[in-house]
A and B are shown apart, each in its own frame.
Chain A
Amino acid sequence: MDTTRRGMLKTVATAAGAAATHDLAHAQEKDHDHGHSHQAVPSDPALRVKSLESLLVEKGLVDRAALDALIDSYEHKIGPRNGARVVARAWADPAYKQRLLTDADAAIAEMGYGGMQGEHMRVVENTPKVHNLVVCTLCSCYPWPVLGLPPVWYKSAPYRSRSVIDPRGVLREFGVELGEDVDVRVWDSTAELRYLVLPERPAGTEKLNEEALAALVTRDAMVGVAKVTARREGNPT
């Protein structure tokens, strides 16, 4: 199995005229010259992926319009603004909050959200005494319909390895310092349940409507690595 896969890496590398591992690891960098004299195809991973896409299209295996539609969904339509609206409604509407905490799938569907990688949702509530933090130590499971695709840090080895053993240390790096009287609950997304943190509503927001509340809610707060503050700093993330 290993040999086959390594062989594949080599094959791809040869076709691309570069060391695949190194090249893909530094995918954002420009083409390197690896001293191969037989360079038929440039080593840029972008071109390697493009070559595969063309092959699959020519074989009639994929439809480019479907690819564009998938990318468009996650680049332009689905993202943390969805989750922010869910959170804001839960803050503004106690009955909705109750439904959200007991049957997240139905409550999120009420807002018009759901689908891929959010088929089975659970919402966990932060309180002055409990702080929830979501991770996937095994891969990168994340609630796409409400948060979009995960950021690089969520998929990174530091976050995946350390969140379970040192959640307070990880939180400190995100600027969240928790007292000893606060219990930390880490949710390792090991199955097909996807978790959304319902952050604490900040003080001083009593007069805000749902839309204004939603504007305060950040992606990081819904993963559990940040708190929501009454005034947003910087751009939405």
Chain B
Amino acid sequence: MGGMHGMGPVQNEKNEPVFHAPWEGRVFALRRAMAAWGKWNIDTTRHEVELIPPAEYFELSYYARQFVAFLEMLVKSNLVTRGEIESGIPAKGQPKATPPLTAEKAVILVAKGVPTSRDVKVSPRFKVGERVRARNINPVGHTRLPRYARGKFGTIERDHGVFVLPDTNAHFRGENPQHVYAVRFAARELWGEQAAPRDAVNLDLWDDYLEHA
């Protein structure tokens, strides 16, 4: 939604709690704990939130969106059936599973994280200082190339190394590891004369999102 108008002022709540209600924390934790089953990845979860129709998306709070998307992932991955969610009771005749994430492993997960860089040799297509253009691509599926940058010219500011490509990873079509760069776009290139002359917006973009200028 970068660059959209009409969203109103930013509301900064003083002394905000981490979670506004206990259920928000439970949604947060349930999503992380269930991810340990390895049935989806971070890009899948982001895409599932994006599949919420815009009108509903804007009406739902952050954790409500997370909850709705989570239910969908549970069903799609066959971990839970809709009937079970509806009734709140496990289907009969299924052996009880063993949770992969224990409290000890949860603490390790928090401390170690889940790196998305990949230690593989992939040649970068672009060099630091090179002028590039963000491709004008409009995929139906998941992408991390924001609309406001598509077709715009920028400069490679830093090569971050090799990372998993979300566009394929979100849809279980492979990690497709490739270089990610910090690309600097002049604010005026993105927004025209209304922007301050020397302001800039930096985006981290994958090789596949860029073309030579």
A residues whose Cβ falls under 8 Å from a Cβ of B: 1-2, 4-9, 11-12, 14-15, 20-22, 24-25, 27-28, 41, 45-46, 48-56, 58-63, 65-71, 73-75, 78-79, 114-120, 122, 135, 137-140, 145, 148-149, 151-153, 155-165, 167-168, 170, 173-174, 180, 183-193, 220, 234-235, 237
A49 and B27 within 8 A (CB): yes
Interface residue ranges of B158-181 to A (CB < 8 Å):
160, 163, 180
A45 and B97 within 8 A (CB): no
B71 and A52 within 8 A (CB): yes
Determine the chain B residues whose CB is within 8 A of the CB of A184 once the complex forms. 187, 196, 199-200
B33 and A66 within 8 A (CB): yes
A174 and B115 within 8 A (CB): no
A49 and B26 within 8 A (CB): yes
- 13 additional A-B pairs beyond A2-B51, A70-B109, A192-B204, beta carbons within 8 Å, are A12-B86, A49-B26, A65-B102, A69-B107, A74-B25, A149-B28, A157-B7, A163-B2, A164-B201, A173-B10, A183-B198, A185-B201, A237-B16
Q: How far is the CB of A49 from chain B (nearest CB, A)?
A: 4
Determine the chain A residues whose CB is within 8 A of the CB of B94 once the complex forms. 59
**Is B11 close to A, CB under 8 A?**
yes
**Is B29 close to A, CB under 8 A?**
yes
Q: Encode contact with A along B114-148: 1 for CB under 8 Å, 0 otherwise.
A: 11110000000000000000000000000011101
A7, A59, A79, A173: the one within 8 Å of B90 (CB): A59
A148 and B18 within 8 A (CB): yes
A71 and B29 within 8 A (CB): yes
Give the most central of B10, B46, B89: most A CB within 10 Å: B10
Determine the chain A residues whose CB is within 8 A of the CB of B111 once the complex forms. 114-115
B105 and A66 within 8 A (CB): yes
B9 and A173 within 8 A (CB): yes
Q: How far is the CB of B115 from chain A (nearest CB, A)?
A: 4
B148 and A164 within 8 A (CB): yes
Determine the chain A residues whose CB is within 8 A of the CB of B62 once the complex forms. 140, 152, 155
B residues whose Cβ falls under 8 Å from a Cβ of A: 1-5, 7-16, 18-30, 32-34, 37, 46, 49, 51-53, 56, 58-64, 67-68, 71-72, 75, 79-80, 82, 84-90, 94, 96-99, 101-103, 105-107, 109-117, 144-146, 148, 160, 163, 180, 182, 184, 187, 190-191, 195-196, 198-206
Q: How far is the CB of B116 from chain A (nearest CB, A)?
A: 4
A12, A28, A61, A189: the one within 8 Å of B21 (CB): A28
**Looking across the interface, which residue of chain A has its beta carbon closest to that of B64?**
A24
Complex CA distance for A12 and B206, rounded to whole angstroms = 38
Given the contacts A63-B101, A186-B200, A116 and B144 also touching, CB distance less than 8 Å: no
Given the contacts A49-B26, A191-B160, A192-B116, A162 and B97 also touching, CB distance less than 8 Å: no
